[in-house]
């Protein structure tokens, strides 16, 4: 019997495999596609997940740059440009890589850590027993596992077979068209890269430009084919996707949206050419039923505007990974695995709220134009920009915790601890995905010592936080900040179970 069977080798399933493997669990991933897909999907990552990847040592692999990520100076919300340079603590990070590159890096890392990735296998049935799950594949093979995780997307087979409902809304109000293109340099602003559209004006890069007739997005990614896309609200909705989209169809759509033609040429090599005629907003009624769990798009789908999907799904994986590993190792508190849903569902609901609001703000109509005029005024207020930036990046995530502890339940900030063996950054210490006690006084380390089989303890001066001690979860959220020894013991037990050692047998690390 295997410990964990993950269905789906997309970014979320691969990230979960890495998290489990770091915690000493060797998962098996089943993927129905025999080879990795090169179909263009997401074009990058935004938000706090970029910092999470850095804290797992993956950011430098993806960028080829050893430096830590830096916040983005600008982004967009509902078609509005956001100037983030005025923020005292800008939480918004970006990593402009195609999804295929992310999947390749996560695949390499998962294999390095001992995960077993099996391609060309299609799940067709499953049966749950009190202590196991029996999964049946299309070729008749049966696999028995202690836990099964559905990371198989919005049309999840696991979710359907588990009998978990997926309520929400599907609509056909919009038609979105996207393609890789080239635009002649004569039609581009040499300084900003904006498209000069005669009779309309400029279409700035990497923004959602709303017109009275629709939306246009121009994304000239460095080093890879540029993307041009439109969204329209036709008078007669249609869901006919049987006819393949053409570049001429996109040209015609751009002309309708802008009211003028622009020169659009094909890319140097065949690339993205996609039409979407429906939108989905859904959240599963349960993230867990017995030994079956849902992850990423299998648990929630929402509009893509603002690009929050990978930020949400990859952090689902980080939240679930250590809790499932603790359960498999036998030291998890009885309800720890249930906190995966109680913590992550509100985050998904907040992303749904954000994407719905942005979708409304880009819609046509005079009433929406009036609403946008009000938002233009609001976004000139720094506190509003800061609020939107925290929402978009996920920096405002706050898990249920002790209300008297101001840092508990929040993302642990970047910091450095100066130990007797030299300075260590949080990004270095969290690459093992183990819980951490960081103690600047040395007074708390003995209290945590009975847990040092599963919690790494470091003492030394803390730089980058006002707290004198922090208990950090493997997903880089703070479980406790300096309080009493009783509250520390309670936090250790609540998150990491009963101690395996007595105080006399345990020796804290430095």
Q: Tell me if 356 is assigned to some domain.
A: yes
**pLDDT single digits (tens) 99-144:** 999 999 999 999 999 999 999 999 999 999 999 999 999 999 999 9
Same-domain pairing of 368 and 422: no
Q: Tell me if 86 is assigned to some domain.
A: no
Same-domain pairing of 47 and 131: yes
Return the pLDDT at 510. Answer: 47
Strand (E) or helix (H) holding 374 = helix 366-378
Return the pLDDT at 223. Answer: 83
Return the pLDDT at 171. Answer: 78
Return the pLDDT at 238. Answer: 57
Same-domain pairing of 201 and 276: yes
Same-domain pairing of 160 and 173: no
Residue 246 is given by DSSP the state -
Return the pLDDT at 386. Answer: 96
Instruction: List, for the chain, all residue ranges whose pLDDT scores fall below the cut of 70.
Output: 40, 236-241, 501-510
Q: Tell me if 61 is assigned to some domain.
A: yes
- The DSSP line for 297-342 is GGTEE---TT--HHHHHHHHHHHHHHHHHHHHHT-S-TTTTTHHHH
Return the number of other C-beta atoms located less than 10 Å from residue 443's C-beta. 13
Q: Tell me if 507 is assigned to some domain.
A: no
Q: Which domain-ending residue is among 331, 359, 393?
A: 393
Same-domain pairing of 10 and 126: yes
Q: Which domain-ending residue is among 245, 280, 315?
A: 280
Mean pLDDT, all residues of the chain = 93
Same-domain pairing of 123 and 66: yes
Cα R_g (the chain), whole angstroms: 24
Q: What pTM was estimated for this model as a whole?
A: 0.93
CATH number of the domain that residue 14 is part of = 3.50.50.60
Q: Are 210 and 362 in contact (CB under 8 A)?
A: yes
CATH number of the domain that residue 479 is part of = 3.40.30.120
Same-domain pairing of 14 and 106: yes
Same-domain pairing of 140 and 210: no
Give the separation between CA 399 and CA 331, rounded to whole angstroms: 22
Return the pLDDT at 168. Answer: 92
Return the pLDDT at 278. Answer: 73
Q: What total number of domains does the chain contain? A: 3
Same-domain pairing of 225 and 288: no
Choose among 232, 138, 234: nearest CA to 177: 232
Q: Are 238 and 248 in contact (CB under 8 A)?
A: no
Choose among 389, 354, 387, 428: nearest CA to 72: 389
Same-domain pairing of 130 and 253: no
Return the pLDDT at 300. Answer: 97
Return the pLDDT at 505. Answer: 55
- Residues spanned by the domain of 445: 410-496
Return the pLDDT at 40. Answer: 64
Q: Tell me if 387 is assigned to some domain.
A: yes
Give the separation between CA 492 and CA 510, rounded to whole angstroms: 18
Give the separation between CA 334 and CA 148, rounded to whole angstroms: 18
């Amino acid at each position: 019997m295997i410990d964990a069977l993950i269905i789906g080798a997309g970014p979320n399933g691969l990230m979960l495999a890495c998290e489990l493997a770091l915690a000493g669990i060797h998962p098996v991933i089943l993927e129905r596609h025999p080879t990795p897909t090169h179909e263009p999907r997401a074009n990058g990552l935004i938000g706090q997940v970029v910092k999470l990847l850095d804290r797992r040592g993956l950011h430098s692999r993806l960028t080829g740059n050893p430096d830590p990520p830096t916040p983005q100076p600008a982004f967009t919300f509902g078609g509005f440009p956001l100037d983030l340079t005025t923020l005292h603590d800008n939480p918004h990070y970006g990593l402009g890589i195609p999804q295929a590159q992310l999947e390749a890096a996560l695949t390499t890392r998962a294999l390095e850590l001992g995960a077993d990735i099996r391609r060309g296998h299609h799940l067709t049935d499953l049966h749950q027993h009190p202590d196991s799950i029996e999964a049946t594949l299309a070729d008749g093979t049966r696999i028995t596992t202690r836990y099964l995780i559905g990371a198989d997307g919005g049309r999840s087979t696991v979710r359907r077979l588990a009998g978990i409902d997926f309520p929400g809304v599907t609509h056909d109000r919009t038609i979105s068209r996207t393609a890789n293109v080239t635009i002649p340099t004569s039609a581009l602003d040499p300084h900003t890269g904006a498209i000069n559209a005669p009779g309309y004006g400029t279409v700035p890069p990497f923004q959602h430009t709303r017109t009275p007739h629709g939306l246009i997005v121009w994304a000239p990614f460095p080093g890879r084919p540029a993307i041009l896309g439109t969204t329209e609200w036709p008078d007669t909705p249609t869901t006919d996707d049987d006819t393949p989209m053409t570049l001429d169809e996109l040209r015609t759509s751009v002309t309708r949206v802008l009211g003028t033609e622009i020169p659009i040429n094909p890319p140097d090599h065949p690339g993205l050419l996609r039409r979407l005629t429906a939108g989905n907003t859904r959240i599963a009624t349960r993230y867990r039923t017995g030994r079956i769990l849902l992850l990423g798009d299998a648990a929630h789908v929402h509009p893509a505007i603002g690009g929050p999907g990978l930020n949400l799904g990859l952090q689902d994986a980080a939240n679930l990974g250590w809790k499932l590993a603790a359960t498999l190792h036998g030291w998890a508190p009885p309800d720890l695995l249930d906190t995966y849903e109680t913590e992550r569902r509100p985050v998904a609901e907040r992303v749904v709220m954000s994407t719905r609001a942005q979708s409304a703000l880009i819609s046509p109509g005079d009433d929406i134009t009036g609403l946008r005029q009000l938002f233009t005024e609001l976004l000139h207020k720094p506190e509003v920009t800061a609020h939107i930036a925290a929402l978009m990046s996920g920096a405002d995530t706050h898990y249920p915790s002790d209300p008297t502890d101001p840092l508990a339940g929040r993302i642990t900030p970047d910091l450095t601890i100066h130990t007797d063996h030299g300075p260590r950054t949080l990004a270095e210490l969290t690459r093992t995905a183990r819980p951490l006690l960081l103690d600047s006084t040395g007074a708390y380390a003995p209290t945590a010592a009975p847990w040092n089989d599963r919690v790494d303890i470091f003492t030394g001066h803390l730089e980058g936080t006002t707290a004198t001690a922090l208990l950090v979860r493997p997903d880089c959220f703070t479980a406790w900040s300096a309080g009493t020894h009783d509250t520390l013991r309670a936090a250790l037990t609540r998150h990491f179970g009963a101690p395996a050692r007595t105080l006399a047998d345990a020796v804290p690390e430095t």
